[in-house]
A and B are shown apart, each in its own frame.
Chain A
Amino acid sequence: MASITLDRVGKTYPGGGQAVTDVSIRIADGEFLVLVGPSGCGKSTLLRMVAGLETISTGTVAIGDRVVNTVEPADRDIAMVFQNYALYPHMTVRQNLAYGLKNRGTPAAEIARRVDEAAAILEIGAFLDRKPRALSGGQRQRVAMGRAIVREPAAFLFDEPLSNLDAKLRLSMRGEIRLLQKRLGTTAIYVTHDQLEAMTLADRLVVLNGGRIEQIGTPMEVYRRPATTFVAAFIGSPAMNLIPAQIADGALTVGGVRVQLPLPSGLDGPVTLGVRPEDLQPRRNGGDGHLTLDVSYVEDLGAQRLVHGRIGGHAMVCTLPAGHAVQDRLFLHADADALHLFDVQGGRRLT
């Protein structure tokens, strides 16, 4: 077990562009860190640099106290679970699990003990003597996990390990991975593009965009106080509403309505206002500071209703409890602390 420190890490692919720029993260011992971001943002690249599968162009990666920039993957004391599982097709499940231990000269009795233990934890004991070909996707996923845990490494690295599973299995495996990591207390870095997976698994999550860090924080911090419009739109489902607004004379105007908000002094001119659909509360009538939504259509999700509409010509979504009646117009209110203000140019948070 060990902490992992990334210090101003950058990656330039030969012939390619800059995939990762200036990333610094301190991952505490036993922490579950999730790297999340859209496709192509450099998550895998970052993880593979920690694993030693890609060279590090700039900066340093340290596992524990040791800088590992030039250390071979084998000597970094990490285990990785690949998206396609990368099980050795010509070996049985048992041989797959034992391979890493064997290579390190672990005594046979110890290998057998650890393999049996891992098999018991992951409930794969029944097919230890099968080849991967004869397993279902979910079982293969478990074997891949097993191969990581038998090694008892300092850190687990996961590259979208659940993306090949169906929705239901993904949900249950998500829970299992979380439990297992807590139980073993092993530091973990987990890559995903699924914000829900990121929210539910992470102790802390790192939102990446275009190879740069947008924000680091606990899931609730990132959800409650997104640092940029990118994070605001990426984390949370349905996504946060982002609409243009005006600040003049210390008052915020959106869609022709003045909204009461304690504003930091010195702000003036156009801003981007962010408000989560679930933070918009319906009101019986249009009162002071209430927004008026022209309803376009309603989606029923069962537990809640998604109301799509427009405010002052800008698209807006709000969620209402199931069964809440919706007319052509909806009067909405949001608490001051549920309103997020962002810079129009850079998209950075202002409040």
Chain B
Amino acid sequence: MKRTIFGNQVLPWLLLAPQLVVTLVFFLWPAAQAIWQSFLREDAFGLNTSFVWFLNYRALLNDGDYMAALGTTAIFSVSVAALSMGLALGLAVSVDRLVKRAPLYTTLLVWPYAVAPVIAGILWWFIFNPTIGILPYLLDRVGYDWNHRLQSGDAMMLVVIAAAWKQVSYNFLFFVAGLQSIPASLREAAAIDGAGPVKRFATITFPLLAPTTFFLMVVNVTYTMFDTFGIIDATTGGGPNQATTILIYKIYADGFLALNLGSSAAQSVILMAIVIVLTMIQFRYIEKKVAY
């Protein structure tokens, strides 16, 4: 590691200042507010505010809807991460095989990442629209009655596909870079050592991609927890029957629609804690195993 020595004690702080200010204003301050807010309870008209200690949290633990949202989030996160990373890896491997990487193919694959979540949501909402969408029409012809407005399974599948689709580009870029950094001679040596293409991938390529995979896992889980709000809102609105209400969406629904600010704040704090803990676990225990 290269170490830079600053003679001036002020300069480093000055250089850090813009980032620190952004973090302070847009993260630490709202986070502190949320924590404060989570200990309060307002009446329905916002006239009376009282400090209630952990009452909001305790209420959540006894709330069946909240527990359901936790489960939904887990399913959603794992599905999106698995689907988007799996697809991206498959695409990256096929690009890596092309002698000269097709620039057009690569460029096209990167586009979805530039699309805003809400737009992505609306796009998929159109494609899957039970009355006017193309996919339900096609599915109907093979005998499947798609209706994510009524079927919770269909709804979950829709939001998973929409959320994963957007993330594929990002994952793809990292996987391509990861594959490129594996020397060709390793795969050649493995080929001579009697490993077929599948075995070569499983025992050489994939393990050597582990640092990339790990990094993407952290990024994807964080993405599904926070950044998928727009997609849910534009496609299913959390329904039907709360089947696609993940934690971030419930925070919005309880806070901004039901105006239960205390509970909503408590949920934000818990979500924040979950992501922090997950990330810590991932870095602590998994990163050690993937380093080679």
**Partner pick for B193 among A14, A52, A89, A99, CB 8 A cutoff:** A99
Does A93 have its Cβ within 8 Å of any Cβ on chain B? Answer: no
Is the pair A74, B193 in contact by a Cβ cutoff of 8 Å?
yes
**Distance (whole angstroms) from the CB of A91 to the closest CB of chain B:** 8
**Distance (whole angstroms) from the CB of B221 to the closest CB of chain A:** 24
Known A-B contacts A90-B208, A90-B292, A131-B292; the reply to A84 vs B183 at CB < 8 A is: yes
Range, interface on chain A: 20 to 34
Range, interface on chain B: 20 to 34
Is the pair A74, B292 in contact by a Cβ cutoff of 8 Å?
no
Known A-B contacts A74-B193, A74-B194; the reply to A89 vs B208 at CB < 8 A is: yes
Contacts of A223 in B (CB 8 A): none
Nearest residue, chain B, Cβ from A81 = B189
Is the pair A89, B292 in contact by a Cβ cutoff of 8 Å?
yes
Consensus secondary structure, chain A interface:
loop
Is the pair A103, B186 in contact by a Cβ cutoff of 8 Å?
no
Does A53 have its Cβ within 8 Å of any Cβ on chain B? Answer: yes
Bound-state Cα–Cα, A86 to B193, Å? 12
Q: Which of A71-108 contact B (CB under 8 A)?
A: 72-74, 78-80, 82, 84, 86, 88-90, 99-100, 103-104
Contacts of A131 in B (CB 8 A): 292
Is the pair B204, A103 in contact by a Cβ cutoff of 8 Å?
no
A-B contact count (CB 8 A): 61
Does A51 have its Cβ within 8 Å of any Cβ on chain B? Answer: yes
Bound-state Cα–Cα, A78 to B195, Å? 14
**Partner pick for B194 among A82, A88, A89, A100, CB 8 A cutoff:** A100
Contacts of B183 in A (CB 8 A): 84, 86
Is the pair A84, B199 in contact by a Cβ cutoff of 8 Å?
no
Nearest residue, chain A, Cβ from B290 = A90
Q: Which of B183-205 contact A (CB under 8 A)?
A: 183, 185-186, 188-196, 199, 203-204
Is the pair B189, A74 in contact by a Cβ cutoff of 8 Å?
no
Is the pair A88, B185 in contact by a Cβ cutoff of 8 Å?
no
Is the pair B195, A72 in contact by a Cβ cutoff of 8 Å?
no
Bound-state Cα–Cα, A89 to B292, Å? 6
**Distance (whole angstroms) from the CB of B140 to the closest CB of chain A:** 47
Contacts of B189 in A (CB 8 A): 80, 82, 86, 88, 147
Q: Which residues from chain A sit less than 8 Å from chain B, CB to CB?
A: 14, 51-53, 72-74, 78-80, 82, 84, 86, 88-90, 99-100, 103-104, 131, 133, 147, 151
**4 tightest A-B contacts by CB?**
A100-B193, A103-B194, A90-B292, A86-B185
Instruction: List, sorted by A's number, 18 A–B pairs whose CB atoms are closer than 8 Å.
Output: A73-B191, A74-B193, A74-B194, A74-B196, A80-B192, A84-B183, A86-B183, A86-B189, A88-B186, A88-B189, A88-B190, A90-B208, A99-B190, A99-B195, A99-B203, A100-B194, A103-B193, A103-B195
